[in-house]
Amino acid sequence: MIVEFWHWVSLFSICLLGAMSPGPSLAVVMNTSLHSGHRAGYVCALAHGAGVGLYGLLTVAGLAVLITSSPALFTFMQVAGAGYLIYLGIKSLRGGSGAMPTEGHAPRDHRGAALSGFLVAFLNPKLAIFMLALFAQFLDPQAGVVEKGIMVATVGITDACWYSLIVALVSHPRFLERLQRSAKLIDQVFGVILILLALSVMLRAGGLV
């Protein structure tokens, strides 16, 4: 049975609200857009959507249960994700001494942008919990391949579209010009935010908060 329209609208709305929640993903996508240009930003956004979509696929395949039911694996992914955020944060702090490049002179690190977008999503095991809770509400146990495919595509595409919108806004000439004036400060803010988020993740992984 194909997902009914209003059933799908409810799923889409929750996915959109989830994507709109501020966090490390937003910082990574914005930072990529500002430093590597809007094309790299879109690549990062699409790769992040692919990472989210992969969690949706793992959920319908039943593998997400393994992640959430294995404390060791869940903690490992949390620590790995925190480590990656610290790496990105330090990289941003070290790059905070120069002005942001203009689009024509922006480095075309599309592979790095894709990796950053994908890893910041994939190394976030909370997505597995979110997907399990989401699909438990909307996925019929007897659902066929088509319905499962629509749901997986919805979570991935919604996420990618939201972050693509962020890239478009950040890359707008007027907005970009203002950001370029405060390039050093923005680098430092992004760096500190990413490191603080990473420390928060590590504290939770260690059961300290």
Cβ atoms of 197 and 92 closer than 8 Å: no
Contacts of 47 (CB under 8 A, 6+ apart): 113, 114, 115, 116, 117, 118, 121
What predicted TM-score, i.e. pTM, was given to this entire model?
Answer: 0.80
pLDDT at 102: 52
pLDDT tens digit sequence for 65-108: 777 788 888 888 888 888 888 888 888 888 654 555 555 545 56
The one-letter amino acid code at 194 reads: L
Cα–chain-centroid distance for residue 109?
Answer: 18
State yes or no: pLDDT of 42 exceeds 90.
yes
Phi then psi dihedrals of residue 76, to 5 deg: -60, -45
